[in-house]
Amino acid sequence: MSKTIRVTVWNEGVHEKTHPEVAKVYPDGIHGAIGGFLKEQGFDVRTATLDEPEHGLTDEVLDETDVLTWWGHMAHHRVSDEIVSKVQQRVLAGMGLIVLHSGHFSKIFQKLMGTTCNLKWREAGENERLWVVDPGHPIVEGVGPYIDIEHEEMYGEQFDIPAPDELVLISWFKGGEVFRSGCTWTRGKGKVFYFRPGHETFPTYFHPQVQKIITNAVRWAKPVDRPAVEFGHSQPLELIEGWKQQ
Amino acid sequence: MSKTIRVTVWNEGVHEKTHPEVAKVYPDGIHGAIGGFLKEQGFDVRTATLDEPEHGLTDEVLDETDVLTWWGHMAHHRVSDEIVSKVQQRVLAGMGLIVLHSGHFSKIFQKLMGTTCNLKWREAGENERLWVVDPGHPIVEGVGPYIDIEHEEMYGEQFDIPAPDELVLISWFKGGEVFRSGCTWTRGKGKVFYFRPGHETFPTYFHPQVQKIITNAVRWAKPVDRPAVEFGHSQPLELIEGWKQQ
Amino acid sequence: MSKTIRVTVWNEGVHEKTHPEVAKVYPDGIHGAIGGFLKEQGFDVRTATLDEPEHGLTDEVLDETDVLTWWGHMAHHRVSDEIVSKVQQRVLAGMGLIVLHSGHFSKIFQKLMGTTCNLKWREAGENERLWVVDPGHPIVEGVGPYIDIEHEEMYGEQFDIPAPDELVLISWFKGGEVFRSGCTWTRGKGKVFYFRPGHETFPTYFHPQVQKIITNAVRWAKPVDRPAVEFGHSQPLELIEGWKQQ
Amino acid sequence: MSKTIRVTVWNEGVHEKTHPEVAKVYPDGIHGAIGGFLKEQGFDVRTATLDEPEHGLTDEVLDETDVLTWWGHMAHHRVSDEIVSKVQQRVLAGMGLIVLHSGHFSKIFQKLMGTTCNLKWREAGENERLWVVDPGHPIVEGVGPYIDIEHEEMYGEQFDIPAPDELVLISWFKGGEVFRSGCTWTRGKGKVFYFRPGHETFPTYFHPQVQKIITNAVRWAKPVDRPAVEFGHSQPLELIEGWKQQ
C-alpha cells in the first residue's frame, strides 16, 4: 500500500538532439525534466528513450514499472509495433499510463483509444488556461481553480478520442478554441491519463502546477493489487441440470 | 431525416456451411435471419459475408451503408486487416456498428475498444435473462423489464471492454454469472452497440424481443448529418498579438 | 414512432413584463420566441408561464406533454414545490426536460441534479463560441464545428453539476472562461438536456443554430414507449429452496 | 496526505433495539460492527445514531468527518430535513459518503441522486454473488473476481438511480435477478459510493471481503485538499473592450 511507486519516464528524445532551441529549454531532455521533479516527490524513477535497445522498455524494465509516462512527437512511427503491443498488454494488466501533449498521436495512445486521436493545432505561443471541472478529483489535489500557462502550443477541438471516463480539465486558448486537456480512461486493469500541455519549445514541465498535476496523476494511476483476471472456458458456480464438467 | 436507413448485415458464414446443426437452425445463414427481420422493418438491407471479394465490404457497399451489423466467430483471423481499417475509418466518419455475440472477438471490435474484449464462456444451453437497466434508452423501446432466452451460451464477467458510455442491459445466467449484455460507445462520429445473445446453435435471432433490440439499435446508430470534422493546422479565430497567418 | 411530439414551453415570463429592454427583444415573451420556431418544425406546441394557475402545468397539460422546456431566472423561488415534485415525477416516468440558460438555478434542475448548479457569471455582452465535442450526437445534427454568438452573458466553470452522461458542447468566452454548455443526463426514464445560451437581453433564441440545437434536443428527449417500471416486493423467477410465495 | 482519515459511522439503530433477532446478529449495533473493523484499519472512527441530538451529526462532528457511512431502513422519515441539507452541503464541499444497503431509500441519498432510488426486493435469505466488473478500481483492491454471500436479502433491477460514474460490482441472485451493487458518483467535490449488501438479519458486515470493500471505499472517498470553489459574479481574466470593473 505504502510501497514506493516505480515510474518509468519515456521520451522520444529527438527534438532535444536536433533542435538547439529545445535543448536550451530542456538541457537534460524532457525526460530529465519530468524525471527530475518526480524523483523529488519520492518516487522510484527511471527514464527510457527511443534510441535505447527496445526503446528502453525491456521486460525487465516493464516488470519494475508501476506507472509509465509517455512523451513523443516527431518519431512516433519509429516506435516498434512489438513494443507498443507489449506496453498495451502491461496497461491492461494494471500498469498506469500518462500520455503527455504530442503523445496524443503515439501508437500506444491510438491503440488504447481506438480512434485517430487527431485534433486542431497552432504554434502561436499563445496563452493557455486550464480550468478544473472535476474539483474533487485526486489529480487536481492542491491545484487552484485554473492553471495559467503564458506560452503554449494550441490544441483545439474536435479532439478525436472516446468520451473520457472522467473529464478533469478544460483548456481555454486566446485564439478562440477550447480543449479537453485532462482526461482519464480505464483500459483493463490499467488507468490512463492524458494531459495536454508540454510543447518542447516552452518550459512547461518546470511549471509548478503542471508538475503537481503529473505527480498526482502518478499516484492516481498506480496499479491495484488484485489477482490476474481469468478468461475462457468456465465451470458453472450453480447447479445446471444435465451439465457434465468439461 | 426520414430517409430509409441502409443496413449491411455482415456474417462470417462459416458455421452454417460446416456444421449441419447450425444450418438446421439458420437455413438461410445467420445473415439471412438478421437481414430478414430488418427488411420487414422497412430498412434497405443487404448482406455480406467473409468469402465474398473484400468480404463483401467494397467501397461501393460501404458508401451505401448507414449501419453495419457484425457476426463472426471461428474465422475472425481470416478477416483482412485492410478491410478492418477501412471499416474503422467508416465508423469514425459516422457509420453505425452493431457487434453481435461472438463478434466480441472480431478484429474491428477489438480495434475500436483498445482492449482484448475477452470474457468467460460456457456452452450449457442454460437460461439467460437480460435485465433492462437504462429504461429510457431508445434501444429498449417496446421491450419489457427483461428478456428471457431459454437456451443460450453463457458469457460471464470479467468482460474486458472499456466502461460503456451507456449500459443498457445486464444478463443473468442460471450457472451463476452476470454479463454487461447491451453496451454503447461512441467512436468519432460513429455509434457502436454490442449485444450479447446469438449463439449459432440456438434460434436466438428468431426471438421477437431480440429482433426488437437489434431493430431499435439500427435506428439509434444511424449517422447524424454533419460536415466532416476538420483537423490539423488551424488559424486563430481571435486576434493574437504578433500572429502572422501561416 | 412518427407521432407528433407534444412540447410544452415553460417560461417564467417576468422579465418581459418588468424590463422594457427585454420586451423589446422578445415582444411575444421568451416562450413566444421558443414556441414559435418549434411550431415551425411541426411539433405540437403549447406554452405555460409562472402566473397561470398551477404555473400552467396542470395534470391535464402534463398528461399531454412529451417534452418540457424550462426558462426561468428572477422568480425561481416563486415556483411551487408541489409543482416541482410533480414535474420531477413526470421526468422519472419518461417526459423529456430541456433546461435553458438561467434555468440552471431552477428548483426542478437542482432537484434532478442533487447539486447547487451554481456557476460563475458576468454580463459584459461578450462573444461566446460553443464548440461541438461529441460530433456524432443527434443533438448537433446539422450544426457546424462551432456556433458563434456575438453577444451573450458569460457563465464560467466551476459549474456545480454531476458529470454529464454526455458532454456535447463546450463554450469559449472572450473574457477567459470555459463552460460545459450542452450536457445530457438520464433520470429514471426521462432525458434531461441543459443548454447554456439564452440571456434575456440578447436575441439568442432567434439564432438559427441555437434553434437547431433546441429542435434536435426535443426530438432526442421524447419518451420511449415502455411499460412503467415496477418496484417493490418481488417473487423469485427461479426456484429457491424453501421459498413460499408471499 | 498521510493524515489519518476520520470516519463517522452513522446508523439509524432502531432494528437492534426492537428486533431481538437483529440484536443477536449485531449485539453492538450495525454501527458497532462497521466502526469496529474500520478502527482496526487505523482510521479515526466515531459513531452517530438517529436518537442522539441532531442525530449525532452536529457541526462539530461534521467538521471532523472526512468520510460518513450511512445505514438506515425503517426510520428514514425520522431524519430531520435540516440535517439532511447540512450533510448534502458537506458532501458538495468534499466529505465522502458511503451509503449502505437499505440506505438507498435515505433522504440524503435520494437528495444527492435526484431520483426515487427505488428497486425490487425479496427476503428469501438467498445466495448473492457480487462480480467485479471494474477490475482496476481501488475499491476492489485485494478482492477476488467475485464475493459470495451465503444469505442476503435480494435487491433487483430496475434500480432507479442516475447511471453511476463508475460501476464496480454487479450482483447475481439465485432467484433470477441482477443488481448494480457497487456504484460511484461525484457530487460537487464529494465522492459517493453505494454498496448493496448488509441486511440487518444477516452477519454481512462480519464478512471479510465486505469489510475490505468498505475499507477501500473509505480511502477512495476521502476529500482532496483544494480551495473552496468560488461562484457568482466574476471579473474577466482577459481584456474585453468597453468593460468596466463592477
Q: Is A142 exposed, middle or buried (0-12, 13-18, 19+ CB in 10 A)?
A: middle
Suggest the residue from C224, C231, C240 to mutate for an interface test with chain B (most B CBs closer than 10 A). C224
Distance CA C175, CA C180 (A): 16
- Name which of D220, D211, D242, D173 is nearest D37 in CA terms: D211
CA distances from C103 to A140, C25, C71, C109 (A): 29, 19, 5, 7
Band (D2; pLDDT cuts 50, 70, 90): low
Distance CA A165, CA A190 (A): 13
Strand segments, DSSP code E, in D17-134 are 44-49, 67-71, 96-100, 120-132
The pLDDT assigned to D1 comes to 46
Q: Which amino acid is at D198?
A: G
Q: Answer whether C140 sits within 8 Å of B226, measured CB to CB.
A: yes
In this prediction, what percent of chain C has a pLDDT beyond 70? Answer: 99
Q: Which residue has cell 431502513?
A: D73
Over the Cα atoms of chain C, what is R_g? Answer: 19
Q: In this complex, which of B157, B159, B170 lies closest to D157 when CB atoms are compared?
A: B170
Strands B190-195 and B178-187: antiparallel
Band (C2; pLDDT cuts 50, 70, 90): low
Q: Phi-psi category of C10—alpha, beta or left, where left has phi over 0 and alpha has psi -120 to 50?
A: beta
- Asked whether C173 and C202 are in contact (CB, 8 A), the reply is no
Q: In this complex, which of B134, B137, B186 lies closest to C134 when CB atoms are compared?
A: B186
**Nearest-neighbour CA in chain D from A49: distance (Å):** 28
pLDDT tens digits along C19-72: 999 999 999 999 999 999 999 999 999 999 999 999 999 999 999 999 999 999
Does A131 lie at the interface with C, CB-CB under 8 angstroms? yes
- CB-based contacts of A211, cutoff 8 Å, min separation 6: A37, A205
Is the pLDDT assigned to residue D137 strictly greater than 60? yes
Chain-wide mean pLDDT for chain A? 96
The pLDDT assigned to B2 comes to 63
Question: Phi and psi of B30, rounded to 5°?
Answer: -60, -35
To the nearest 10 degrees (0 to 180), the angle between helices A29-40 and A208-221 is: 70
The pLDDT assigned to A142 comes to 97
Q: Answer whether D145 sits within 8 Å of A238, measured CB to CB.
A: no
Strand, helix or coil for residue A52 = coil
Strand, helix or coil for residue B13 = coil
Distance CA B30, CA A196 (A): 46
Cell triple for B123: 456452452
Cell triple for D31: 454501527
Q: From chain C, pick out residues whose CB is under 8 angstroms from the CB of D194.
A: none
Over the Cα atoms of chain A, what is R_g? Answer: 19
Is the pLDDT assigned to residue B218 strictly greater than 60? yes
Does D164 lie at the interface with A, CB-CB under 8 angstroms? no
In this prediction, what percent of chain D has a pLDDT beyond 90? Answer: 94
In this prediction, what percent of chain B has a pLDDT beyond 70? Answer: 99
Chain-wide mean pLDDT for chain B? 96
**Nearest-neighbour CA in chain A from C77: distance (Å):** 28
Q: Which amino acid is at D73?
A: H
Max CA separation in chain C (angstroms)? 74
Q: Answer whether C172 sits within 8 Å of A172, measured CB to CB.
A: yes
Band (D243; pLDDT cuts 50, 70, 90): confident
Cell triple for C207: 439564432
Strands A44-49 and A96-100: unpaired
Q: In this complex, which of B131, B163, B173 lies closest to D157 when CB atoms are compared?
A: B131
CA distances from A5 to A36, A49, A213 (A): 15, 20, 16
pLDDT tens digits along A66-120: 999 999 999 999 999 999 999 999 999 999 999 999 999 999 999 999 999 999 9
- Write down the ipTM of this complex: 0.96
Does B113 lie at the interface with A, CB-CB under 8 angstroms? yes
The pLDDT assigned to A1 comes to 46
Please give the distance of CA B43 from its chain centroid, rounded to a whole number.
16
pLDDT tens digits along B49-105: 999 999 999 999 999 999 999 999 999 999 999 999 999 999 999 999 999 999 999
Is the pLDDT assigned to residue B223 strictly greater than 90? yes
pLDDT tens digits along B14-30: 999 999 999 999 999 99
Question: Phi and psi of C71, rounded to 5°?
Answer: -125, 125
A158-167, A223-232, B76-85: least confidently modelled range: A223-232
- Asked whether C26 and C16 are in contact (CB, 8 A), the reply is yes
Q: From chain D, pick out residues whose CB is under 8 angstroms from the CB of C229.
A: 158, 160
> Can you give the three-state secondary structure of C90-115, one letter per residue?
HHHCCCEEEEEHHHHHCHHHHHHHCC
Q: From chain D, pick out residues whose CB is under 8 angstroms from the CB of B156.
A: 131
Long-range contacts from B24-31, C-beta under 8 angstroms, 24+ separation: B25/B200, B25/B201, B25/B202, B25/B203, B26/B200, B26/B203, B26/B205, B30/B71, B30/B198, B30/B200, B30/B205, B31/B71
Does A143 lie at the interface with D, CB-CB under 8 angstroms? yes
Distance CA A245, CA A239 (A): 11
- Asked whether C130 and C147 are in contact (CB, 8 A), the reply is yes
Q: Phi-psi category of D94—alpha, beta or left, where left has phi over 0 and alpha has psi -120 to 50?
A: left
Neighbours of chain D (3+ CB pairs under 8 A): A, B, C
Question: Phi and psi of B90, rounded to 5°?
Answer: -65, -40
- CB-based contacts of D51, cutoff 8 Å, min separation 6: D13
pLDDT tens digits along C71-81: 999 999 999 99
Question: Phi and psi of B166, rounded to 5°?
Answer: -135, 130
Does C85 lie at the interface with D, CB-CB under 8 angstroms? no
Q: Which amino acid is at A31?
A: H
Nearest chain A Cα to D1, which residue? A141
pTM above 0.90, yes or no: yes
- What number of other Cβ atoms are within 10 A of residue B86's Cβ? 17
Question: Phi and psi of B24, rounded to 5°?
Answer: -70, -40
A27-41, A63-77, A222-236, D174-188: least confidently modelled range: A222-236
Is the pLDDT assigned to residue C215 strictly greater than 50? yes
Distance CA C110, CA B72 (A): 47
pLDDT tens digits along C95-110: 999 999 999 999 999 9
